[in-house]
A = this chain, B = another copy of it.
């Protein structure tokens, strides 16, 4: 696939095989993340590549337990509402059982933290597609990025006091019939363009 096709056919994959992503593929994905643009070339993104089952499980149960303490409010963003409702029911797995979770943190007092993490995640998702791997943007750890209990646990994994999570993604082998990632290209309904040519 050429670059534009790889970009256009990147879709969210939410069903995965338990098979681990190999280290050489992870390295390519992370290299793409590290080479994302960043404000004034600061390079302060901090990547956490999680495949260890006990750490993934701990994150899953922590996220569920924290959302379960929250209440749905009027006008709340639909995905946060879903996370709360499903967590209260129990069995909420924010990683869609993907074998790999890549968390991207950055300095909390840095104005480009969100942008730098987002571009890194996009580079990694495009590269995953190029490698025939599925991926999906994951927002839950960003929504909970000031939660003291989640922060305490992330500190044990190496997050520093001045860092917060702004984006993350799951990567893995897609559980599809042909074993390839979902690559449908539905026409865009929004994303208006105003031409001033």
Contacts and interface: CB of A to CB of B under 8 A. Distances in A.
Given A3-B6, A55-B196, A193-B49, A34 B188 contact: yes
B37 A77 contact: no
Size band of the interface chain A makes with B: 35 or more
Interface in A1-57: 1-4, 6-8, 10, 12, 23, 28, 30-40, 42-52, 55
Contacts of A34: 188, 191, 193
B130 A79 contact: no
A84 interface: no
Residue with the greatest number of chain B CB neighbours at <10 A, chosen from A46, A49, A194: A194
A32 B8 CA distance: 6
A42 B197 CA distance: 27
Contact of A194 (B10, B79, B157, B189): B157
A190 B36 contact: no
Contact of A3 (B111, B121, B130, B197): B130
Given A4-B28, A39-B139, A52 B196 contact: yes
Nearest to A119: B122
A123 interface: yes
A137 interface: yes
Contacts of A191: 33-34, 38, 43-47, 120
23 contacts: A1-B3, A3-B3, A7-B127, A34-B191, A34-B193, A37-B122, A37-B125, A38-B191, A40-B77, A42-B190, A46-B191, A46-B194, A49-B195, A51-B197, A77-B111, A114-B115, A114-B118, A115-B118, A118-B122, A119-B119, A120-B191, A122-B122, A126-B126
